[in-house]
């Protein structure tokens, strides 16, 4: 397999992250690039979900993926196999990405043709939610084995998300996970969040998620 490009992103020196995120978003709008920020706890299935998503959308939308991690290039290598442009961002120990770090990644990723840029954030339900990356939409994945109470315990993550994917629904029979309860907890945190149950491993529900994403990209670029 080809070597994966690894970018060592530097922590931002800018205190005014919100302003810089807004500026980045405005630039992306002008360039017709939709940036999705995908967040979740470690092991919720971000990379597997992205691979499925890319399979469904890559023939109609030009996609580029930024895989952020403390270390390793496991995820970028997996994405590269999906046939989309993929780079690895190393955060140098940082637990999140801010707008300026995201911009450093975008500068490497985008060479004129990317319409949908996806940032797979660091696996963490806490810190990434605190920093606006400049993304047009935020998505979170919560997987069944993590438990239906996570919106109670990690409120900000669910407040800032436009869409929540409930992943690994195939193993629901083996876990005490109540989908209705989970929907209710998410609604408490964010009444506008769209909730889509999926199984990234089998592909169940991923079409619904891809439809949602396709609509968002079209609307942003129109």
What is the contact surface with a second copy in residues (CB under 8 A)? 41-43, 69-72, 74-75, 93, 95, 122-127, 130, 143, 145-147, 149-150, 152-156, 168, 170-171, 174-175
Given the complex with a second copy, which of 24 and 142 has the nearer CB atom? 142
Q: How far apart are CA 134 and CA 156, in angstroms?
A: 17
99 touches 134 (CB < 8 A): yes
Whole-number minimum distance, CB 136 to a second copy, in Å? Answer: 25
198 touches 211 (CB < 8 A): no
Given the complex with a second copy, which of 171 and 221 has the nearer CB atom? 171
Whole-number minimum distance, CB 188 to a second copy, in Å? Answer: 11
User: Which strand (E) or helix (H) includes residue 39?
Assistant: strand 34-40
Given the complex with a second copy, which of 167 and 216 has the nearer CB atom? 167
161 touches 179 (CB < 8 A): no
Given the complex with a second copy, which of 112 and 191 has the nearer CB atom? 191
Whole-number minimum distance, CB 196 to a second copy, in Å? Answer: 19
Q: How far apart are CA 122 and CA 32, in angstroms?
A: 25
Whole-number minimum distance, CB 200 to a second copy, in Å? Answer: 12
Q: How far apart are CA 40 and CA 126, in angstroms?
A: 9
């Amino acid at each position: 397999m080809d070597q994966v490009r690894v970018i060592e992103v530097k922590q931002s020196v800018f205190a005014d992250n919100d302003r810089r995120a807004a500026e980045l978003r405005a630039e992306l709008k002008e360039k017709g690039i939709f940036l999705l920020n995908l967040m979740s706890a470690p092991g919720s299935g971000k990379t597997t979900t992205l691979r499925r998503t890319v399979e469904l959308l890559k023939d109609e939308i030009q996609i580029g993926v930024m895989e952020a991690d403390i270390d390793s290039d496991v995820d970028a290598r997996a994405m590269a196999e999906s046939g989309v442009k993929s780079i690895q961002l190393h955060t140098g120990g940082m637990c999140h990405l801010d707008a300026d770090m995201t911009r450093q990644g975008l500068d490497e990723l985008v060479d004129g043709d990317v319409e949908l840029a996806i940032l797979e954030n660091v696996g963490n339900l806490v810190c990434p939610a605190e920093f606006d990356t400049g993304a047009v939409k935020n998505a979170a994945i919560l997987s069944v084995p993590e438990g239906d109470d996570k919106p109670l315990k990690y409120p900000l993550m669910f407040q800032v998300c436009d869409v929540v994917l409930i992943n690994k629904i195939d193993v629901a029979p083996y876990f005490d996970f109540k989908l209705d309860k989970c929907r209710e907890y998410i609604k408490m945190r964010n009444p506008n969040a769209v909730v889509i149950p999926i199984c990234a491993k089998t592909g169940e529900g991923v079409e619904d998620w891809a439809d949602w994403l396709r609509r968002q990209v079209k609307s942003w670029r129109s």
